[in-house]
Structure 1
Amino acid sequence: MKSQFLKMQLDANKAFIVFVVMSLLLSVLISVMLVGREASSVLNGYKQQASETEAKLSAKYIENFLETRILLLKDLSSQPFIINGVMGSGVSEASLNDYLSEFKILGIKEKLWIYNVLGDYVYKNNDEQAVLETPSDWLEDLLNGELSHAVLLDHNQAQSYFKLAVPINYNGFTEGALIVKFQTPIDVLLSEVLESNTHGVKLSGPWLSYSNLSTLNKYDLVLESNLQSSGLKLSYLVDSTLVEKQVNQVIISIATAIFC
């Protein structure tokens, strides 16, 4: 009788322990489901908002970068010594050399070329070729007075650089072209405003196509923006897989905390 009572008591203790464990697991599960769903919604909303802000910042940054330099180059191309240099005066070409040998744009000595209306070099401060395409439609259009500027892309050692070209005008006629390659890689420029490793950017234009997207990732489009002054279009994308992983990691951390 006593042994039977003890057995019943043990069974009751076991049942109570099972009840406590199951209640704990059930409460954790319910909490994780409720909190996790809310956390997922909030985090996804935050990620979307942050991505849109980054997208607008990157578009504005690139637009301002190009617009400022286009204006500076147009101002430089209108200087008398530049105009006289492309029109063939030997004295003017010498003064052109003297002035531009140490010329800097916003504190940086950029690579620079000057062509005359025939498409021949008048001046350059480096050993690279400014025009690699054959034929160079953009240069022909520039020298024919059909373009106010051209935004180009230069590839060198797995890096991409902006190259800008503006016409050299005199009395309403185009006398040559000024071309500058900027030494800061586009990836570095974008890193000034893009801190997240989940982003991807595409730039496209008449003579330019740039992308830092990985072929291994899946991206969702966040924003498309036309950069008015440069004539380019910027597309900002986010790696949806990586964002989902980050959200899941946060939910797992919350679940672990609740369980503890």
Structure 2
Amino acid sequence: MNDTINLLLNHRSIRSYLDKPLTEEQISIIVQSAQAAATSSYVQAYSIIGIKDQEIKDKLAELSGDQAYVAKNGHFFVFCMDLHRLELAAEIEGELTAEIEQSLNSTEMFMIGLIDTGLAAQNAAVAAESMGLGICYIGGLRNKLHEVSSLLGTPNRVIPLFGLSVGYPTNLSDTKPRLPIANVYHEDRYNPNPDQLKEQLHQYDRTISDYYSARTNGARNDRWTESMSKQLQRPKRLYLKQFLKENKIPLD
């Protein structure tokens, strides 16, 4: 294995950082690395907001569910799907036609924005980790997007999707075992055998249960399927469809 593969395979979420800000050079490298990611049809449908103001960090931490590592880190990035820039491009080239509006409102363009933003963020994460920094994705920003958008001043068609806390780790957590490859990787066609897939999940449950038990000295032994089932019983952020509509992303 080479250094890049070792870096990827040793990823873990870091939630505790030294009180040491990133340098401007580090921030620039992380953003440039994000921009180097693949993008559908050169659309580049994302923007990144770097948060230095501690009051804004503190408020974002509160809105994200009082997650301390949103407020205390070396730098905090907010990754936004950005279709507003495309609207401006259309205005530069002439009026916003019905066809352009249809394109901007399409589910396909929404998916392009999500995918572009995710690819850019993962490039940023790998770049940060390659510099010895730790990272943690923050989906909790979507808990209260009206407040987050107001705080960050995002216009219509710009949706803050998640945050990325970056900093110097105070300690390294263990890497979590992932699903077995056979449950994720299918050749030629999706494996239609539910019994086989379930047996693989049973095996994974044992792996995860052993992982938590060892990590907590027996205080916790969650199974993966148990955790996922409990999550699904608590629907989250059901307001998002209406929020998207209010921000001129009606998903035609």
State the TM-score bracket (shorter-chain normalisation). Answer: under 0.3
Flag the structure with higher strand content. Answer: 1
